[in-house]
Amino acid sequence: MSEETKAYALITGASKGIGKSIAYELAKQGYPLLLVARSGEELKTLSDDLHAKYGTISPIFPIDLSIKEASLKVVDWIKMNNYPVGILVNNAGYGVWGDFSHSPLSDQLGMMQLNMNAVVELSHLLMPILSKEKQAYILNICSTAAYQAVPTLAIYSATKAFILSFTRALRFELAKTSISVTCFSPGPVDTGFAARAGLSALNKMAEKFNMQPDKVAKMAVKAMFGKKSEVIPGFTNIISVYANRILPKAFIEKTAAGIYKI
């Protein structure tokens, strides 16, 4: 199938980490891409490299999705250019580490806007466009943090719990349509997330447990095209989530607090 016959894959947070690796993985499979992230320079570099390696068409749209109504601007750009979209990868997100009462409220609200609202907005606004395709996909990049409360990452873990619940419900609602919805929940990934969240104290431990973004991206894309409902990559992560289901919540939360208080 030639690239011209494939609808675009819209990837948020495409300039770094898992989003960037997903861009390369889909480009290898011949998909044209729509790349969205804050840094226009990094997006341009990525778009040029994808074109050089795979001949991929990758228009870019630099914007900060943590700002209200940014999602509307992305969709207006898509409509203005008549881009057919068959894949939506809701990947953009970040964490804010620290006790809730000591963390700036503006940072917490911005994280909620990006991690939750932007996902809801893009999913809803793009539904009519996705529905035009014989087969379309929504891939929500979540986290193992969705399965438990995490003290010092209280709002981050809550936003991911929201995405997990939202994805499950949306998948059920769209079961008889052409749109497949997948929730992909990795544990620690070598993406720079910890540094941005202010978790530099975990760098040494992260080196032992982090998965590589390229490997995670391959698993995420495979899960999406396989129409999987919910995927947790990595044996350790699966065991961790299972433990959250059977062990007392107070014990899990105390353990998590001990880890992130390092």
CB atoms within 10 A of CB 238: 15
Point out the catalytic residue in the list 8, 24, 156, 242: 156
Helix (H, G, I), strand (E, B) or coil at 22: helix
Question: Residues of 129-147 as b/e, b for ≥16 C-beta within 10 angstroms?
Answer: bbeebeebbbbbbbbbbbb
**Beta-sheet strand order (sheet of 8-12):** 60-62, 33-37, 8-12, 85-90, 136-141, 179-184, 230-231
Query: What is the rounded distance in angstroms from the CA atom of residue 162 to the CA atom of residue 149?
Result: 12
Q: What is the dihedral of CA 165, 260, 196, 99, to 10 degrees?
A: 80
Q: Is 156 designated active site? A: yes
Residue numbers annotated as active site: 156
